[in-house]
């Protein structure tokens, strides 16, 4: 009894969703309500435990909310409500036109939040701020910068890339490269979205959001759509996945290279750490698949310097090279964590110090002024005064310099996040489908 009721309910709500998409709201409302009745009937005879009942109740809540939304819409705007298929007189034609207007208005309402994903203020990250990855940067310049600056070069059969996939271990700079693209691509709209921006709890709305995203990009072209962690949206299709997930992937495929969709001036830039889970059709639409590897020793040296910035330290060029040699298989993010931990070492010295001594140095508030400052020291040093950091005036503390020992201590307590098995999978994928981006 329960199985038959559930099957009937699923059939009804599926038909309701189809009518909902066609804007036949009256019929959709009737089918939603009828389907919920069958679901509630199924709960009475459900024998698979509380978990199954809770799942049915959740579905009922979703469909009831949609039904209430349709009911309110029909009450407020009965003149524009859609009619069931079959009418062919003048009045019905007018209602069909009104229904089309409703369709456009609803699509605009759905995609309005996506307009907030267009970066109005550039991140101000230059190509030189990205250490290494020269080939990846050149590929992105070829796909993004050159077509915008020299459009006459890309005519006829010479067309810019429509899809670029950046893949590699976590923390290697894929998202950072995308920020550099956003900064360097002048006169180009940059739209950054994630799966949460395109997935809705309402059936049928997620694919509309995908369509709206590409419509927005076409309206603002030249435009770049950046989707971080694209594997969460476009994983391999299977028989066990939900209908809504399959529809999102189908709409994504259609919008990227579907019949009747003009993709000129729109670049889709995706990033993922696990490219092997992407659907084969999605993978094909990313014409350039660039492997962003772990940084080599030269790049790691540059990353250490970039992360130290203008912080006061006593490290020499040889020290930076030695640190780079010690951190094989460390990603850029791992090195950033090492530097951040090292930057905290002077703070810890101040916090744990039991003695301070007076020294001459530039004032923290006025570099041109030399004043008496307090510096942490060992109890046996000449001039040491027993006190803790709370006794030191706020404007009279001398910032301790970061030393090589501080860096070595941070390296020892920070382990790389990428495993050998992950690297092996990525290298196999690159050999089969991608290209090196280092």
The model's pLDDT over 123-138, given as tens digits with 9 standing for 90+, comes to 778 888 888 888 888 8
Where along the chain do the CATH 1.20.58.80 domains lie?
A: 2-111
Please, which pLDDT band fits residue 161 given cuts at 50, 70 and 90?
A: confident
Q: For residue 119, what pLDDT is reported?
A: 67
CA–CA distance, 281 with 249 (Å, rounded to integer): 10
By DSSP bridging, strand 223-228 and strand 288-291 are unpaired
Residue pair 319/174 in contact by the 8 Å Cβ criterion: no
Fold classified for 2-111: Methane Monooxygenase Hydroxylase; Chain G, domain 1 (1.20.58)
Please, which pLDDT band fits residue 82 given cuts at 50, 70 and 90?
A: very low
Does position 318 have pLDDT exceeding 90, yes or no? yes
Q: For residue 78, what pLDDT is reported?
A: 57
Does position 83 have pLDDT exceeding 90, yes or no? no
Please, which pLDDT band fits residue 155 given cuts at 50, 70 and 90?
A: confident
135-to-142, 149, 291, 379 alpha-carbon distances in Å: 10, 20, 10, 54
Give the percent of the chain with pLDDT over 90: 10
The CA-CA-CA angle for residues 349, 354, 355, to 5°, reads 95
CATH architecture for segment(s) 127-294+430-436: 3-Layer(aba) Sandwich (3.40)
Mean pLDDT confidence for 350-354: 86
Say how many Å lie between the first and final Cα of the chain, rounded.
61
Element (H, E) at 192: strand 189-193
196-to-192, 201, 210 alpha-carbon distances in Å: 12, 11, 12
Residue 42: φ, ψ to 5°: -65, -30
Give the percent of the chain with pLDDT over 70: 84
CA–CA distance, 4 with 22 (Å, rounded to integer): 27
Q: For residue 410, what pLDDT is reported?
A: 92
Give 263's contacts (C-beta < 8 A, 6+ positions apart): 162, 256, 257
CA–CA distance, 174 with 139 (Å, rounded to integer): 13
Predicted structure pTM score? 0.67
Q: For residue 100, what pLDDT is reported?
A: 52
Where along the chain do the CATH 3.40.50.300 domains lie?
A: 127-294+430-436
Q: Tell me which residue of 185, 188, 173, 200 sits closest to 330, measured CA to CA.
A: 173
Element (H, E) at 350: helix 345-352
Residue pair 358/389 in contact by the 8 Å Cβ criterion: no
Please, which pLDDT band fits residue 79 given cuts at 50, 70 and 90?
A: very low
The residues pairing with 227 across neighbouring beta strands, listed in sequence order, are 193, 270
Q: For residue 213, what pLDDT is reported?
A: 85
pLDDT per position as a tens digit, 375-391: 888 888 888 888 888 88
Q: Tell me which residue of 171, 179, 134 sits closest to 335, measured CA to CA.
A: 171
Q: Tell me which residue of 55, 46, 16 sits closest to 33, measured CA to CA.
A: 16
Q: Tell me which residue of 97, 81, 72, 94 sits closest to 26, measured CA to CA.
A: 81
Q: Tell me which residue of 273, 44, 266 sits closest to 169, measured CA to CA.
A: 273
Tokens encoding 235 = 């994983």
Q: For residue 2, what pLDDT is reported?
A: 54
Q: For residue 335, what pLDDT is reported?
A: 93
Angle subtended by helix axes 404-412 and 345-352, to nearest 10: 100
CA dihedral 166, 172, 176, 181 (to 10 degrees): -40
Angle subtended by helix axes 404-412 and 332-343, to nearest 10: 130
pLDDT per position as a tens digit, 192-225: 888 777 777 777 778 888 888 888 888 887 888 8
Does position 58 have pLDDT exceeding 80, yes or no? no
Q: Tell me which residue of 357, 294, 367 sits closest to 327, measured CA to CA.
A: 294
CA–CA distance, 118 with 125 (Å, rounded to integer): 17
Give 127's contacts (C-beta < 8 A, 6+ positions apart): 137, 141, 180, 184
Where along the chain do the CATH 1.10.8.60 domains lie?
A: 297-417
Please, which pLDDT band fits residue 88 given cuts at 50, 70 and 90?
A: very low
CA–CA distance, 209 with 293 (Å, rounded to integer): 33
What does CATH list as the number for 297-417?
Answer: 1.10.8.60
Please, which pLDDT band fits residue 430 given cuts at 50, 70 and 90?
A: confident
Please, which pLDDT band fits residue 27 given cuts at 50, 70 and 90?
A: confident
CA–CA distance, 155 with 172 (Å, rounded to integer): 34
Does position 90 have pLDDT exceeding 60, yes or no? no
Q: Tell me which residue of 420, 437, 402 sits closest to 323, measured CA to CA.
A: 402
Q: For residue 404, what pLDDT is reported?
A: 92
The residues pairing with 383 across neighbouring beta strands, listed in sequence order, are none
């Amino acid at each position: 009894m329960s199985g038959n009721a559930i099957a009937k309910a699923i059939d009804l709500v599926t038909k309701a969703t189809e009518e909902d998409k066609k804007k036949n709201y009256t019929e959709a409302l009737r089918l939603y309500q009828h389907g919920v009745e069958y679901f509630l009937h199924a709960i009475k005879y459900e024998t698979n435990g509380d978990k199954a009942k809770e799942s049915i109740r959740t579905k009922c809540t979703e469909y009831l909310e949609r039904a209430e939304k349709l009911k309110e819409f029909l009450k407020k705007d009965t003149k524009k409500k859609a009619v069931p298929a079959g009418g062919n007189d003048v009045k019905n034609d007018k209602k069909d036109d009104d229904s089309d207007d409703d369709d456009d208005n609803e699509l605009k309402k759905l995609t309005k939040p996506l307009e907030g994903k267009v970066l109005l203020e550039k991140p101000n990250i230059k190509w030189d701020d990205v250490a290494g990855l020269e080939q990846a940067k050149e590929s992105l310049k070829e796909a993004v910068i050159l077509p915008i600056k020299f459009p006459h070069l890309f005519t006829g059969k010479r067309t810019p890339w429509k899809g670029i996939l950046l893949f590699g271990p976590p923390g290697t700079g894929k998202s950072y490269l995308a920020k550099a693209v956003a900064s360097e691509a002048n006169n180009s709209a940059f739209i950054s979205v994630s799966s949460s921006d395109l997935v809705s709890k309402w059936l049928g709305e997620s694919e509309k959001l995908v369509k709206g995203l590409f419509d927005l990009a076409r309206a603002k072209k030249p435009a770049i759509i950046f989707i971080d962690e694209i594997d969460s949206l476009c994983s391999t299709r299977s028989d066990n996945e939900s209908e809504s997930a399959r529809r999102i992937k189908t709409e994504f495929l259609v919008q990227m290279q579907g019949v009747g969709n003009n993709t000129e001036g729109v670049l889709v830039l995706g990033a993922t750490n696990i490219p092997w889970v992407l659907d084969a059709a999605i993978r094909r639409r990313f014409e350039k698949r660039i492997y962003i590897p772990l940084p080599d020793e030269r790049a790691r040296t540059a990353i250490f310097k970039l992360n130290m910035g203008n912080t006061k330290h006593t490290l020499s060029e040889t020290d930076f090279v030695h640190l780079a040699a010690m951190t094989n298989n460390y990603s850029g993010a791992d090195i950033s964590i090492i530097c951040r931990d090292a930057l905290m070492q002077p703070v810890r010295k101040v916090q744990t110090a039991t003695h301070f001594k007076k020294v001459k140095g530039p004032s923290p508030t006025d570099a041109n002024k030399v004043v008496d400052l307090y510096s942490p020291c060992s109890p046996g040093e000449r001039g040491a005064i027993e006190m803790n950091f709370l006794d030191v005036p706020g404007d009279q503390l001398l910032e301790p310099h970061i030393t090589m020992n501080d860096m070595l201590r941070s390296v020892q307590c920070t382990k790389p996040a990428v495993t050998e098995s992950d690297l092996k999978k990525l290298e196999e994928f690159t050999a089969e489908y991608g290209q090196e981006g280092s």
